[in-house]
Amino acid sequence: MLMNVLKIFIPWTTAFFVGIIITPFLTHYLYKYKMWKKKPGKDAGLGDNNGTPIFNELHKEKDTGTPRMGGIIIWGSVLITTFIFWLFSYLFPDILTQKLDFMSRNQTWLPLFTLVAASLLGLVDDFLVVFNRGGYMAGGMPLKLRIGLVLLIGLIGGWWFYSKLGVSLVAVPFNGVMEFGILFIPFFMLVMLALFSSGVIDGIDGLSGGIMATIFSAYAGIAFFQNQIDLAAFCAVIVGGILAFLWFNIPPARFYMSETGILGLTTTLTVVAFLTGHVFILPIIAFPLFATVLSNIIQVSSKKFRGKKVFLVAPIHHHFEALGWPSYKVTMRFWIIGIVSAIIGMIIALIG
């Protein structure tokens, strides 16, 4: 039991300090080469270049001058930490080093691959934004292309689960399990796409970092109590990297997480949720993410069918900004909601 606990907390803290150490080097590069948007604002996310005027007014002084790509701190610290513990296990094989090595085919290979693949995809998008290239007025990949690439990652992940790991069951709280068969693959892709759409939560300093750290902590706890120790350690390492990023992202942010961070985290979260078997409690554990997506859906639907908006601006955290809430108040209250919902989700997972 003690060794399992150490396997969680030692990599966790290692990832945090790795992230803190590499940040000055990344920051130097990002500021030296001015890796930020060259013009403020964004379009509506639909590729129509009509803009989102309220959002642009709220953030016109923040978009330029603050670098993107801060998410490199997260996945970079995860990769370095994972390599450190694997290398120690390989060079100095004994009980301790082999126990602390959390790389395993059935628990961590797939989430690590997903994190790297999606983060690199997001990095390409960030470069397009920085150099004002792509499908939008502010740069970036066309939305349809990003959706297609995310679905491709989801297809690979779903196939790996179904064909390599033999997984086609999903736990249903208080009602046993549900057998999906071959439909497991499209279901996996659908969940990944839903979480991808929640990436718009990365819109206020400190918001996405705090929310994602809470969610991955919850799944680390679930994995631990299910004796998926390698997966729990991997989730803990992600949390350590997020906390290192968050140290510098708390207002005023030194850099933004941007696509290379949020895309890697949302797709990896999909894999982690399926590995634990607790996908149906995602809307509870990750309630702030789903509330963000739902607010966008409500806003778009209302404008299309009723001809008017429900929120001043969507997603919902920007609605509160438009009402006059300071951004730090929005962030802190979302953190609180995220913590409470994550705890409720963990309770359901453990007793359901």
Q: For position 58, what pLDDT does the model report?
A: 60
The C-alpha R_g of the chain, in whole angstroms, comes to: 20
Rounded Cα distance between 254 and 256, Å, is: 7
d(Cα 44, Cα 32) in Å, to the nearest integer?
A: 30
pLDDT < 70 stretches in the chain: 40-63, 134-139
323-337 tens-digit pLDDT: 999 999 999 999 999
Nearest Cα residue to 157 out of 71, 273, 72, 260: 273
Q: Which DSSP string corresponds to 304-324?
A: HHTSS-SSSSSSHHHHHHHTT
pLDDT per position as a tens digit, 206-222:
999 999 999 999 999 99
pLDDT value of residue 211: 97
Q: Domains of the chain: which residue ranges?
A: 2-280
Q: What per-residue confidence (pLDDT) applies to 106?
A: 87
Contact call for residues 317 and 203 (beta carbons, < 8 A)? yes
CB burial of residue 244 (10 Å; 0-12, 13-18, 19+): buried
For residue 59, what pLDDT is reported? 61
What is the reported pLDDT for 52? 61
**Distance between CA 11 and CA 3 in Å, rounded?**
12
Cβ atoms of 257 and 202 within 8 Å: the answer is yes
